[in-house]
Chain A
Amino acid sequence: MYSKGLRTLSIATVVTTVAALSLVAFYAPLDADQGFIQKIFYLHVPLAIVALIGFVVGGIYGILHLRTGRREFDARSYVAIHLSVIFGVAVLVTGSIWAKASWGHWWVWDEPTLVSFLIVFLMYATYYPFRYAIEDPERQARYASVFAITAGAFVPLNFMAVRLAQSLVHPRVFAATTGGLPNSMLLTFLVSLLAMALIWTTLVKFELTAKSASGKLSRLRRALDPDDEMPSPAPSIAPRLS
């Protein structure tokens, strides 16, 4: 039952998102250096963090799929990666908007944080053609899990590599040694991060519920009308939940 608790989760998501937007608009002070444009921070950074964690979650489900052989975990892995890729698009677009307003350029190629995120995003963009290239559903699920684990392990390594690369351009607002965010900004950021995580989780649950309902409908159709010649399903990159 993927829909269990979905209503409560949806309400919590709406409440937290409204709270986050209210804090961004009315509570968080203007940044002394960047001014109003810094408000993008409360959208862009939580999006990036949730997208990267989502990729790792996809890898964890990949491990569970390989260990147990249950298709359910492949579906969870697929949906986690799928949602994180969508969030990744939002990260790149909002980041470019912020870069244009702050630095005067839509993209800066010598900035490790930007380029490394683009590499991670492009790597996950190959996940879809990779799945589509394999017709046998069992093999597709197995290979996709291996991809999810390998790419998921790359994400924290990539993050650490970027942190080690001392860049002068991209702000380091969570540096432990140099002060970091003031409390009002930190609170706004944490609520925004929670809201983004809840949006991601809610959408994942919606997608899984829809997939599960679709699978159950197919089972019901077969049970009701076993003689009916069902058209063979088109090759799909999305795992089917029966």
Chain B
Amino acid sequence: MPALPLDEAGKYVAGAYIVFLTLILIYVDIMAAKLQRIERELGELAEIAEQKRSGEQSESEAEEKAPSHV
């Protein structure tokens, strides 16, 4: 086949590069969704850790305030 003229060949070349770019962008989008999930879970764990710490603090304060019977 003879070489395609530039205006026609340009569409094919652009199409090929756009396909690759689209695949990469879809992959990056999936990775971003994973990252969001990890961030959300990390937030939940930080809350659990803070609740535990405040619970332990209030327990130790209560022990200090309690009168000793010795």
Contact = CB atoms under 8 A, between A and B. Distances in A.
Given A37-B3, A98-B12, A86 B41 contact: no
B52 A224 contact: yes
Interface of B: 1, 3-6, 8-10, 12-13, 15-17, 19-20, 23-24, 27, 31, 34-35, 38, 41-42, 45, 48-49, 52
Contacts of B42: 217
B16 A203 contact: no
B65 to A, nearest CB: 28
Most chain A CB inside 10 Å of its own CB: which residue of B4, B9, B48, B49: B9
Contacts of B5: 35
A33 B9 CA distance: 13
Interface stretch (A38-46, A64-72, A183-191): A38-46
A127 interface: no
A26 to B, nearest CB: 14
Interface of A: 31, 33-37, 39-40, 43-44, 47, 86, 89-90, 93-94, 97-98, 100-104, 199, 203, 206-207, 210, 213-214, 217, 220-221, 224-225
B34 A210 contact: yes
Contacts of A101: 4, 8-9, 12
Contacts of A214: 34, 38
B17 to A, nearest CB: 6
Contacts of B1: 102-104
Main SS class of interface, B:
helix
A93 B23 CA distance: 11
B6 A97 contact: no
Nearest to B35: A210
Given A37-B3, A90-B23, A100 B12 contact: yes
Contacts of A98: 12, 16
A221 B9 contact: no
A97 B38 contact: no
5 contacts: A36-B10, A37-B13, A94-B16, A210-B38, A217-B42
A90 B12 contact: no
Contact of A217 (B20, B27, B41): B41
B7 to A, nearest CB: 9
